[in-house]
Chain A
Amino acid sequence: MLFNIELIKSRRVNMAKGKVTFDRDICKGCELCVTACPVNIIVMDKTGINAKGYHPATVNEMDKCIGCANCATICPDCVITVERD
């Protein structure tokens, strides 16, 4: 992954708390955000498809989000809004 999360956790760095919101119907299912997330919490929602017919990106383990905004940075479609403490 892009940086070593276990190493950071082992140094007891206080990770920020983050929250991401996906505008489900504008996602094109490209999966770039999945590769950019350093805590590997983004998944493609295979349980359903959005209005465009794609499996949209989503997060099921929001408590692990650190609000780094890597996902939103790499998203070509401004699907993701990021909040952070």
Chain B
Amino acid sequence: MAVVFEKTTGLVAGKETHYCPGCTHGIIHRLVAEVLVELGVLDKAVGVAPVGCSVLAYEYFNCDMHEASHGRAPAVATGIKRVLPENVVFTYQGDGDLASIGTAEIVHAAHRGEKITTIFVNNAIYGMTGGQMAPTTLIGQKATTAPLGRTVEHSGMPLKISEMFATIHGAAFIERVSVDTPANIRKAKKAIKEAFKCQIEGKGFSMVEVLSTCPTNWGMTPVDSLQWLRDNMMPYYPLGNFRRPGEDE
């Protein structure tokens, strides 16, 4: 028998994550790490960790890492990539980091066509700080700062980041994926690989929005969370590609 699956060298060996049981961060970290190894760029990868549950991502990826302040990872990545254009620079951000405090930084990184890759982990809630409403929290979804559930009148409709970025010329690759089933996880990995290739080929800014779960703050089991994602997030945040290199402005 041959080994067909084992822990990738893109993740630090022997390091267990602090993430909750069933948290999809673990899956997404692994996909990014596998892609960096398979593309042969782990040795020149530099990642930027956000503020959020994945604030400690710098302990898990087996490459040089920066810790950024909340929302600023795309600006930090811009500084790194402008100094080291031959390196592969990525940011890994949650929905509070990217879609709330960091909206200016991510939009402008895409707008300038910075050759970085952003992994956007969308779980419709603020995880690390205990379950507050995020810009991506769904209508009716309860959060600690929306105890009766989000309403349009008070907070507006949830932000569709991939759709927004489809209009930005410098954004060369924008795709939304999910990690709720093995099949979708494999598709997500393909998209992440395409996104990094986009950077390596110098085509511009690339981003993969990954629909994710937060069992702890959604108040469900990990298995039920995957179902909730399918039933509630997928209809509002459809999977698919929103922008590929060479497409119309």
Which A residues are within 8 Å of any B CB, using their own CB? 2, 17-19, 26, 28-32, 34-36, 54, 67, 69-70, 72-78, 80-85
Contact = CB atoms under 8 A, between A and B. Distances in A.
Contacts of B226: 32, 35
B223 A31 contact: yes
Contact of A76 (B5, B19, B186): B19
A2 B26 CA distance: 22
Nearest to A54: B21
Contacts of A70: 182
B1 A19 contact: yes
A83 B4 contact: yes
Given A76-B27, A77-B26, A83-B1, A2 B17 contact: no
A29 B22 CA distance: 8
B181 interface: yes
B16 A30 contact: no
Given A76-B19, A76-B25, A84-B1, 11 more contacts: A2-B182, A30-B22, A31-B22, A32-B226, A67-B4, A69-B5, A73-B185, A76-B23, A81-B5, A82-B3, A82-B5
Nearest to A20: B5
Contacts of B2: 83-85
Contacts of B26: 75-78
Nearest to B227: A35
Contacts of B17: 76-77
B16 A76 contact: no
Given A30-B21, A30-B222, A31-B223, A78 B11 contact: yes
Contacts of A75: 26-27
Interface of B: 1-8, 11, 16-17, 19-27, 30, 179, 181-183, 185-186, 215, 221-223, 226
Q: Which 4 A-B pairs have the closest CB atoms?
A: A76-B26, A30-B22, A28-B21, A82-B5
A36 B221 contact: no
B182 A36 contact: yes
B1 A17 contact: yes
Contacts of B4: 67, 69, 82-84
Contact of A32 (B3, B5, B16, B22): B22
Contacts of A19: 1
27 contacts: A2-B181, A18-B1, A28-B20, A30-B215, A31-B22, A31-B221, A69-B182, A72-B5, A73-B185, A74-B179, A76-B17, A76-B19, A76-B22, A76-B25, A76-B26, A76-B27, A76-B30, A77-B17, A78-B11, A78-B30, A80-B5, A81-B3, A82-B5, A82-B6, A83-B1, A84-B4, A85-B1
